[in-house]
Chain A
């Protein structure tokens, strides 16, 4: 692999995370994309490449992503692509495209509305269609198996899980985009009934609608338009075998490999935004990324506070950039995931000047 090119985040924006947005996806995306462009200090026409991430199945309609072009403003025609993945992978594609050097600004965004569907019915369709979909293998059940495996292996306790959930929601109190916030007492949380043992409701992410957009630029352009660009020092993503029974669910090999390639361990990490949709996954991710005890994890509240599918991973990168640009942090790690029980993972390392 070649050396890491000099590319920076120059603009970011996200919508609030709604339990059920009254707006359509293009409607709530339009102000998000506009804000990201405005913060970048550029015009729409300056964008040389656009990449979107969304999922037809969430919208319940084939070609739903086509509508989102309205929010981009594809006239005159634009150079554009779409991944049926979280917007974090759209960012990866845009980051690769910028490396050609013929364009200097790219836009990546992700969006999704989970509210129209029933996750427990939709997500089994994401599993092997011959052996797992017919069993109704939904994300909560698979995550519960994963949490059970961790508890059995002595890698986490239910109390630690509740502490992660409580910290995330407390952190989210100051996050205007978050959905589930507040101060929760760990003992009270542990007194609640199981939802799917060993998971309680607090271990689960909310069901959310929302979107996120990022503008990235070459070094020359970033320095020209932006006072404090946030540099992408490394970005890598990996997938692993699908069948949950063929993986050690208490680990995440793909996160480890992606983290190594992104250079997480090359210097001290100040902040990490991890896409842990279930409380116990935060511990797996922190372990695989080798994060030290003093790393601030999910100051935004993470996916446990706001979980707009297809945008939640990109939002981790936006939040990590925000920690650097607005809170004076120097080096941040952001993580996105796809599939059940952390099957596919993306890791991005960001730095301030």
Chain B
């Protein structure tokens, strides 16, 4: 049993907004899927299987939505799967789809992820519904505070990430938040939600979808545009609470990253990855994941942010698309990270393109920072090897 390379040949996403009243649920996913097909210059009949992902069904009040979306996603007579791994689901869904191509089960797979948060009350759902839990911000805030205490990071780091990602979003026409006058002052003065997270350091609630067409080497050859090659994928999960767990730098996140780097042949992520799309729903998670995935050393993540290294023009651009802080259709947010990384290495990210990006990281996490899904995409199958021979930039 051997695997074959998998390539991304079609990418589509919707305009992400607070409320997409102009489309139904199937209309939303079809919009993204049609764009991915158009990008690949394929039609619905070219697709062999569909893999759908989203966060909890109660967010929209539709149980097992793959059933009622089968028609809109052209799945009649085809295999269709539905993945759900909390916030990491958009990433996991992409990975499940790559498996179908890598193992030769199918030649062309359509993968789609979405959330239509305005249909329901995701905050209520995230906070445990009737059982009345803390919500995502309430769970993550103490861990951000713990990171700050351990790393000695100054409080302006969070504000800086919030401003950077919103400025990047203005270069991305699909991004939800288009804040013209975002500034450190505005972030700092916005209401405190969960200390240390201010309102403008938190992600929005969005309606949106993302889709990709994945295929094998033959399919990539026939593709009208440059493909992005999937060089490695990794998934890791751990329990959400137990004595001795480090929720600030979860072991599952560390192992997921190393499994990924090893599979891609990456020995120095900071040097060998050109662009990263990291799941940052709250500003502090940028430095936390830079350290949590060993891109930066302990206590060094915030210094990368502070130095401007993570800006589009920096040496390790993070979330050039504006990231989760600018668009958060939850179930799609992970796939958007994966797709944006692919767009970058295809050189098709438009105004938010990072010059010369050859190797991209897509990342998603979920649950109580316990589910991780990551992939590395390259402009060529040997993009990482080429970097190594070039040495440190």
Partner-B contacts on A (CB < 8 A): 1-2, 5, 55-57, 60-63, 65-66, 69-70, 74-85, 89, 92-93, 96-101, 122-123, 125-130, 132-133, 218, 236-243, 246, 253-254, 257, 338-340, 343-344
Contact = CB atoms under 8 A, between A and B. Distances in A.
A324 B106 CA distance: 30
Given A66-B86, A75-B238, A241 B76 contact: yes
B217 to A, nearest CB: 14
6 contacts: A56-B57, A62-B125, A78-B238, A79-B237, A81-B92, A96-B103
Given A62-B129, A239-B76, A240-B70, A70 B61 contact: no
B264 to A, nearest CB: 14
B149 interface: no
A76 B251 contact: yes
B83 A253 contact: no
Interface in B58-82: 58-64, 66-71, 75-82
Interface in B268-320: none
A33 to B, nearest CB: 14
Closest 10 CB pairs of A and B: A2-B104, A77-B252, A101-B1, A62-B56, A99-B103, A77-B238, A84-B84, A125-B63, A80-B237, A339-B67
A158 B66 CA distance: 33
Interface in B6-25: 24-25
Contacts of B2: 101
A66 B81 contact: no
A174 to B, nearest CB: 33
Given A75-B242, A77-B251, A257-B77, A55 B86 contact: no
Interface of B: 1-3, 24-25, 56-64, 66-71, 75-86, 92, 95-96, 99-100, 102-106, 125-126, 128-129, 131, 234-240, 242, 250-252, 255-256, 259, 367-368, 370
A81 B99 CA distance: 12
B102 A100 contact: yes
Contact of A128 (B68, B129, B131, B255): B68
Nearest to B92: A81
Contacts of A253: 77
Given A218-B1, A338-B64, A75 B82 contact: no
A339 B237 contact: no
Contact of B237 (A55, A74, A241): A74
A210 to B, nearest CB: 19
A237 B80 CA distance: 8
B77 A84 contact: no
Given A78-B236, A240-B76, A242-B68, 4 more contacts: A83-B83, A100-B3, A100-B103, A343-B67
A239 B84 contact: no
Contact of A83 (B3, B58, B77, B81): B81
B93 to A, nearest CB: 9
Contacts of A89: 81-82
Contacts of B96: 81, 93
Nearest to A126: B63
Contact of B1 (A60, A84, A100, A132): A100
Contacts of A56: 56-58, 84
A70 B62 CA distance: 27
B231 to A, nearest CB: 14
A123 B106 contact: no
A2 B3 CA distance: 11
B67 A242 contact: yes
Contact of B239 (A70, A132, A240, A243): A70
Given A81-B92, A101-B1, A238 B64 contact: no
A63 B68 contact: no
A77 B254 CA distance: 10
Contacts of A66: 86, 240, 367-368, 370
A63 B125 CA distance: 9
Contacts of A254: 77
Given A56-B58, A66-B240, A2 B105 contact: yes
Contact of A125 (B62, B100, B125): B62
Nearest to B107: A1
Contacts of B259: 79
A60 B130 CA distance: 9
B82 A83 contact: yes
Among A98, A240, A253, A257, max chain B CB count under 10 A is at A240
A1 B105 contact: yes
A327 to B, nearest CB: 30
Contacts of A243: 71
A62 B131 CA distance: 10
Nearest to B75: A239
Contact of B81 (A93, A100, A122, A236): A93
A233 B86 CA distance: 33
Contacts of B56: 56, 62-63
Given A242-B70, A253-B77, A338-B64, A62 B236 contact: no
A85 B64 contact: yes
A75 B239 contact: yes
